[in-house]
Amino acid sequence: MPELPEVETVVRTLEKKLGHCTIESVEVRWPKIIDTPDIKTFCDRLKGQTIQSYGRIGKYLMFDLGDQMLIAHMRMEGKFYVQKAEEPYDHKHVHLLIRMRDGFELRYHDTRKFGRFALYDKREDPYAYPALKHVGLDAFDERLTPTYLYQQMHKRRITLKQALLDQQIMAGVGNIYADEICFALRMHPATKIWHLRKKDYETMLTETRRILSGAARAGGTTIRSYTSSLGVDGRFQLELNVHAREGEPCPICQGMVKKITLATRGTYYCPACQRKR
């Protein structure tokens, strides 16, 4: 589910709900979601730790524990819930429980079990953790410039959409916002990236940040119907121009939004407004 705006929403919501809480105990119910270290070490090392601050890089959540860093990725369907320990929950899909000393629990819910957690000794450079080995600069990292994007992208034999989705170049854009960015650029998602000119990369970065920050301000996006008053999952409403709008009128020209498959991902665009170069 989560792209950068949804992860940002989750981070800020957890920060507000949990604050500087101290961990009392940890229970892992689906061992595979823990990448490193082994389950016992993971639980033992978390016990007694206090969450100092909440952050993210791309779509990765970063829980700063002072001398350790807990890194989480929700992949497709992960959600976090903050509830009282006595509150009932969905045992079938909750795979990690972190009980706090104040009686609240952080519960990780994930129907497809794709999400992952990793715990490391704290490092100075937040990009240096093995879990972020394939993660490039965050879309809002100030070191990310149009020139940097140009250098990273223009020689690749891939399409515009694939370039936007490549987390190793720029971290945070997923399938929804990649479509929305292509629409904002008035470019066909299958445009070969080497056709873009240097000037285009300025627009690309501006529009990417405009769309991501707008979505984050709205609290993230939802497509499929989902309701949860207690969930911390970033699923709220936001107007999308083309994504998941097959057959609907383009907001610009009223032409019909088309759906294609690009690099195995469902891709939506307006054939009239978004031309290949």
Partner DNA sequence: CCTATCACCTGCAGGC
Partner DNA sequence: TGCCTGCAGGTGATAG
In angstroms, what CA-CA distances link 225 with 64, 69, 85, 235, 237?
A: 33, 33, 27, 9, 10
Q: Does 158 bind DNA (CB under 7 A)?
A: yes
Which residue lies nearer to DNA by CB, 100 or 200? 200
The helix (run of H) or strand (run of E) holding residue 88 is none
Q: Which of 3, 105, 138, 200 binds DNA (CB under 7 A)?
A: 3
Which residue lies nearer to DNA by CB, 93 or 188? 93
Contact between residue 250 and residue 273 where contact means Cβ atoms under 8 Å apart: yes
Cα 71 to Cα 120: distance, rounded to the nearest angstrom: 8
Q: Does 92 bind DNA (CB under 7 A)?
A: yes
E-strand ranges in the chain read 23-28, 34-36, 53-57, 60-64, 68-73, 79-84, 94-100, 104-109, 116-121, 137-138, 170-171, 231-232, 258-262, 265-269
Question: Which residues is 26 bridged to in the sheet?
Answer: 98
* Segment contacting DNA by CB under 7 A, of 45-53, 141-149, 168-176, 182-190: 168-176
Does residue 2 have an active-site annotation?
Answer: yes
Which residue lies nearer to DNA by CB, 84 or 157? 157
Q: Which of 16, 29, 32, 197 binds DNA (CB under 7 A)?
A: 32
Q: Does 113 bind DNA (CB under 7 A)?
A: yes
* Residues 209-268 interacting with DNA (rule: CB under 7 A): 220-224, 226, 234-235, 244, 261, 263-266
Does residue 59 have an active-site annotation?
Answer: yes
Other beta carbons within 10 Å of 156: 14
DSSP state at residue 195: G
Does residue 3 have an active-site annotation?
Answer: yes
Given 45, 56, 59, 107, the catalytic residue: 59
* Residues 175-214 interacting with DNA (rule: CB under 7 A): 175-176
Does residue 265 have an active-site annotation?
Answer: yes
Contact between residue 73 and residue 36 where contact means Cβ atoms under 8 Å apart: no
CA angle 255, 256, 258 (to 5 degrees): 135
Q: Does 79 bind DNA (CB under 7 A)?
A: no
Judged by CB under 7 A, the number of residues near DNA is 43
Other beta carbons within 10 Å of 38: 10
Residue 93 assigned ligand-binding role: yes
* Segment contacting DNA by CB under 7 A, of 36-44, 45-53, 159-167, 195-203: 159-167
Tell me the one-letter amino acid at 129: Y
Structure tokens given for 45: 């090392």
Q: Does 58 bind DNA (CB under 7 A)?
A: yes
Contact between residue 175 and residue 276 where contact means Cβ atoms under 8 Å apart: no
CB of 101 to DNA, least distance (A): 31
Binding site members for DNA: 93, 112, 156
Please give the annotated binding residues, written as ranges.
93, 112, 156
Positions annotated as catalytic residues are 2-3, 59, 265
Interaction site with DNA (CB under 7 A): 1-3, 6, 32, 58-59, 73, 75-76, 92-93, 111-114, 131, 133-135, 156-158, 162, 165, 167, 174-176, 220-224, 226, 234-235, 244, 261, 263-266
